[in-house]
Amino acid sequence: MKHVTEIIQSSKESHLKLFDNINPQLGKVLSTIGFDKNFVRAQGASLFDDKGNEYYDFLAGYGVFAAGRNHPKIKAALKEAIDLDLSSLVQMDAPLLAGILAERLINMFGHGVRDTVFFTNSGTEANEGALKFAKAATRRDRFLCLEHAFHGLTLGSLSVNGNAEFRNGFGELLPSETVPLNDLSTLEEKLATRQFAAFIFEPVQGKGVYIPEKSYLREAVKLCHQCGTLVIADEVQTGLGRTGRWLACEHFDVEPDIITISKALSGGFVPVGAILYKRDIYHQVFSRMDRCVVHSNTFGKNALAMVCALTTLDVIEEEGLLQNAREMGDLLYEKLVLLKNKHDWIKDIRHVGLMFGIEFGRPDSLKKKLTWDTVHKLDKSLFAELIVMPLMSRHRILTQVSGHHQDIVKLLPPLMINETHVTHFVEALDDVLNDCDSITGPVFRMAANLAKHALT
Ligand code: PMP
């Protein structure tokens, strides 16, 4: 038997029992909401459990699988790279593959502004580096971020997190302030103090899928530059075609000083991230030969990550995934608007390309209002969960609740989905919303059940 197969088959315990070694609280949540499947295989936009059931993946590993899971071209490139016995991680060297990828990223995403790259192992590490570089370049300590912002969960990135739920319990973080999205006067007021090293934002916010007004980001960048504050665009989730463009910043005509990318760049195989930034910032950080590794990491430029990234960029280009994201995004939006006309549970549908937030709200009819109010009395985040759960249990579609205390379901499917996936999703959501209409229906029973679980 092959080695990996043997490891998998030799396990005496269930996947859930073994997960107790990692995060038993998350294990309990998975069981409660019916996400405790044992997935054994994946292909494209599909996952398969140990009973052979197929699931449509509208989560894409939080945006990692732009090209779909286990893409044959990325797999082949990885196998080839392994067979070449490459001299990865020499450390005291200038690895060719990293140089090739850096050049490609600068050509694609530098736009003549950002001409230097630092490679990381994750999205949060890219943002950590960006914040650190901004401190060095401006000699300022404070940061500005947006309400609902999410930039990762290590201490630096957590300091610019716009959600109290994530920050609470971790004591004092880096000095930062939060400003509301689309509010230029508050931003201007803060910037005028000239204390802020950087303003960091997601061009489309992951938590809630909030989309800035067209002129907001442009004006914000202008104000930052007038006040000596650097601009960091976190494109960890939005980058690489998710919004139908290579970068979401392109929708808003802004050129930040620093851009961070990660997630999809990995092809879903080897973690990788990158900071693209201006050469003058580089010179402030790596200011002398004895400071040449003042910011560095062990695995950042590893050959397999570079190969995954280079091949993923090829696949996204060759398969026209940006155009597909735009077309499928528009199709899904059109179909969801029809559903919104039918179900007054849906209050708003926000999307750019294939990044979707479906927001629910208190319906008009008296009977449905009662359901809405009861569910919200039980828990503020419960309603969206009551949509996500039957989508999974009855229709085998993975989606997610967008954030704490939000009535928003988020969709982040692979960029290679087709009309069949779109239609299946819309029909499934229609069915789930039909069930919400009945106060004695399955959705309501599920709410009661969940509340019981929460109490125990
Ligand atoms: N920034 C954004 C916008 C993200 O969506 C995420 C991950 N969801 C991160 C940063 C953090 O990335 P990672 O989980 O790789 O640290």
Report whether 204 contacts 131 (CB < 8 A): no
Instruction: Report which protein residue has its CA nearest ligand 1's atom 2.
Output: 151
How far, in Å, from the CA of 373 to the mean position of ligand 1?
A: 33
Indicate the pTM of the whole model.
0.97
207 lines ligand 1 (CB under 6 A): no
17: Cα separation from own chain's centroid: 28
Q: Which pLDDT belongs to residue 455? A: 57
Ligand 1 atom closest to 122 (CA): 15
Print the SS3 string covering 390-440: HHHHCCCEECEECCCCCCEEEECCCCCCCHHHHHHHHHHHHHHHHHHCCCC
The Cα–Cα gap between 223 and 226 comes to 5
Q: Which pLDDT belongs to residue 445? A: 72
The Cα–Cα gap between 438 and 440 comes to 5
Instruction: Report which protein residue has its CA nearest ligand 1's atom 11.
Output: 152
The Cα–Cα gap between 255 and 326 comes to 22
130 lines ligand 1 (CB under 6 A): no
Q: What letter represents residue 142's amino acid?
A: R
Q: Which pLDDT belongs to residue 405? A: 86
What H or E segment, with its residue span, contains residue 143? strand 142-146
268 lines ligand 1 (CB under 6 A): no
410 lines ligand 1 (CB under 6 A): no
Q: What letter represents residue 197's amino acid?
A: A
Q: Cβ atoms within 10 A of the Cβ of 328, count? A: 23
Q: Which pLDDT belongs to residue 114? A: 98
Q: In the chain, which stretches have pLDDT less than 50?
A: none
The Cα–Cα gap between 417 and 258 comes to 31
How far, in Å, from the CA of 26 to the mean position of ligand 1?
A: 19
How far, in Å, from the CA of 448 to the mean position of ligand 1?
A: 33
Any residues with CB less than 8 A from the CB of 370 and at least 6 apart, and which? 439
